[in-house]
Structure 1
Amino acid sequence: MSIVRLGVIGLGNMGKGHIGYMQRGEVKGVKLTAVSDSAEPGQLWAKENLGDDVTLFTDPFVMMDSGLIDAVLIATPHYSHPELAIAAFQRNLHVLCEKPAGVYTKQVREMNDAAARTDVKFSMMYNQRTNPLYQKLKDLVDSGELGEIRRTNWIITNWYRSQSYYDSGTWRATWEGEGGGVLINQDPHQLDLWQWTINMMPKRVRAFCYFGKHRNIEVEDDVTAFVEYENGATGVFVTTTGEAPGTNRLEISGDRGKVVIEDNKLTFWRLRVSEREFNATFTGGFGAPECWKCEVPVHGTNPDHKGIMQNFVNAILHDEALIAPGEEGIKGLMISNAMHLSTWTDNWVDLPIDEELYYSYLQKKIEESRNRKGVKA
């Protein structure tokens, strides 16, 4: 194979955005040969903006069976991601999936199992993993420069969304349409980075999700969660779509200092000796380890979505290691599912979560929503 023939499923904002940079030739080794959308607006857009060498389908499964593609990019509503990916795996097609991996981990685990039975490439569109800021943070953790992780805090509240945003589509901010609110729609990248940069998943979660607190919606729009890790470290995650001005501040404390990422800068407060060593040897009353404030240089630009697409294509053509392996999509989703479940049960939730219990609660939320709207199942 000298070029990857790609089919895009879903011609909403994200699907059209990905097509745009491919049409401009900004990703090498890939050719858009087909698209699929079941909705008339997407079909009209394709007819008006894509040439005759791109075949339009109204059924993604027909597109998969057409012989015109080697890989698919899934850019459809959340619930459909696993179903479409599994269908692609069954046809030996490579898969690049938009975030989130799915709505609940039970369906995503089935997707991962299907991928494991094939030899195709499977990647998530976790484009923030290509951001030099987070790559540098991960390097500081992986190299041991930060020492053992003690605490993680992420305040990510610059997701402001007005009521008109939620009113723009009946599927928005509903349990049946999206499967959640700020955690499933806005935060998948941060939840992924939270565990990816430190190489640790929480062992248990206690969360407080507020549903329709700031807007007339049925899903969560304000969340504060506390987590514990296996090594004794703790963490806090705070997010909302109803706060202005918002904040985006990630702070990671370790045995050898702390790192803060805010305003597109990475600052490292580096201890000359580890806190553990200082505490074991210091004999004075008041004192603290000597600390240097280091503005860490971060080189390079963020290739963003194009970077993940290029990596996906390179993995297919040249067996390049994936930046965001598809099977890792379940990790951030596991954390957000745990936050929901903790709120619904008003209790701690251990990870991995009870997937059947989560699924049963989700179905109850969907049914309650239907009853409020007078919709028959």
Structure 2
Amino acid sequence: MEQVKLGIIGVGNMGTQHAKYLQEGVIDGAVLTAILDKNENRTKELNSVLNQDVQVFNDEEAFFESGLVDAVIVATPHYDHSYFAIKAFEQNLHVLCEKPAGVYTKQVREMNEAAKKSGNVFSMMYNQRTNPLYEKVRELIREGELGEIRRMNWLITNWYRSQSYYDSGGWRATWAGEGGGVLINQCPHQLDLWQWMTGMMPTRMRAFCHFGKYRDIEVEDDVTAYAEYDNGATAVFITTTGETPGTNRLQINGDRGKVVVEDGKLNYWRLRVSESQFNREYTGGFGEPECWKVDIPITGKETSHTGITQNFVDAILKGTPLIAPGEEGIKGLSLSNAMQLSAWTDDWVKFPLDEEMYYKYLKEKIANSTVKKEASSITLDVKGTY
């Protein structure tokens, strides 16, 4: 294969963006050849802006049987991510899936199994992994510069959304339409980065989610979560869509110092002697280790969506290692599922997550969702919705 023929499934906001840069020839070794969207009015609009050699489909069987694509970008609503990914794998196609991996881990686990069985390339659109700031934090942690991680705090409240935003679509911020609120819609990148940078998943979590606290919606719009880890480390994750001005501040403390990422900058304080060594050896009563504020060189630039797509294509053509392997999508989703489940049960949630319990509660939420009549065609099962 000299060139990857790419198809896009779902051409809402994100799907349209993918189509735009693919047609501009930004991705080496790839060409957009087909689009699938069930909305006929939308595809009629697309026909006027797409290259003539891009075929538009409303029927999924015709799309998959066309032979026009080697790989697909899945950019549908959340519930359909796993459904279309699995179908693509069954057709021996490579898959790049938009975030989140799905709505609940049970369906995502089946998607991962289908990917493994197919042997094809599977990637997630975790474009924040291309941000040099977060890449550097990961490097500092993985190479031991911070020592053993002790505490993580992420305050991410710059997701402000007005009521008019939620009113713009009857499916928005509903259990049947989106499967959640700020955690599933706005925060998947941060939840992914949280575990990707540290290489750690919690042992248990306690979360407090407020549903419709600031807006007339049925899903979570304010969350505070506390997590514990095997090594004794703790973490706090706070997010909301109801505050302005918001903050995006990540702080990670380790045995040898701390990093803070805020306002597009990385600040690093390094202890000359680790805290644990200082504590063992120091006999002077009051005192603490000498600390240096260190300038860390940040090189490169964030390549975002095009960077992940190029990496996906290179993995197909050249065997290049993936920046965001698809099977890792379940990790960040496990965190958001655990936060919701903890709030629903008013209790601690242990990891690995009880997927059957979460699925049971989610089905109950969907059955009582305000959008259930509009979404009456949705059939919820392990494979997702369609």
Query: TM-score, structure 2 length as denominator?
Result: 0.96
Count of aligned pairs: 377
CA distance in 1, matches of 2:224, 2:94: 37
Aligned equivalent of 1:105: 105
- Contact (CA 8 Å) 1:61, 1:87: kept in 2 or not? no
Aligned equivalent of 1:126: 126
- Per-residue CA deviation, residues 282-325 of structure 1 (Å, 9 max, x unaligned), is 00111011001123221111010000000000000000000000
Identity %: 65
DSSP 3-state at the match of 1:268: strand
Aligned equivalent of 1:267: 267
**Stretch of structure 1 that moved more, 221-230 or 44-53:** 44-53
CA distance in 2, matches of 1:140, 1:371: 45
- Per-residue CA deviation, residues 32-78 of structure 1 (Å, 9 max, x unaligned), is 00001111342122211112200110023321221000000000000
CA distance in 2, matches of 1:76, 1:375: 15
DSSP 3-state at the match of 2:78: coil
DSSP 3-state at the match of 1:113: helix
- Per-residue CA deviation, residues 123-169 of structure 1 (Å, 9 max, x unaligned), is 00000000000000000011100100000100000000000000000
**Residue 47 of structure 2 is aligned to residue 51 of structure 1:** no
DSSP 3-state at the match of 1:226: strand
Aligned equivalent of 2:79: 79
Aligned equivalent of 2:18: 18
Residue 376 (structure 1) shift: 7.1
Aligned equivalent of 2:312: 312
**Letter paired with 1:59:** D
- Per-residue CA deviation, residues 152-197 of structure 1 (Å, 9 max, x unaligned), is 1000000000000000000000000000000000000000000000
Aligned equivalent of 1:42: 42
**Stretch of structure 1 that moved more, 33-42 or 124-133:** 33-42
- Contact (CA 8 Å) 1:370, 1:376: kept in 2 or not? no
Moved over 2 A (4+): 59-62, 370-377
- Contact (CA 8 Å) 2:176, 2:375: kept in 1 or not? no
Aligned equivalent of 1:33: 33
Question: RMSD of the alignment, in Å?
Answer: 1.4
- Contact (CA 8 Å) 1:221, 1:241: kept in 2 or not? yes
1:241-280 to structure 2, matched below 5 A, reads: 241-280=241-280
**Letter paired with 1:266:** L
Query: TM-score, structure 1 length as denominator?
Result: 0.98
**Letter paired with 2:104:** Y
**Residue segments in structure 2 that go unaligned for 5+ positions in a row:** 378-386
DSSP 3-state at the match of 2:69: coil
DSSP 3-state at the match of 1:217: coil
**Letter paired with 1:312:** F
DSSP 3-state at the match of 1:117: helix
- Per-residue CA deviation, residues 315-352 of structure 1 (Å, 9 max, x unaligned), is 00000000000000000000000000000000000011
**Letter paired with 1:353:** L
Aligned equivalent of 1:163: 163
Residue 370 (structure 1) shift: 4.7
Aligned equivalent of 1:224: 224
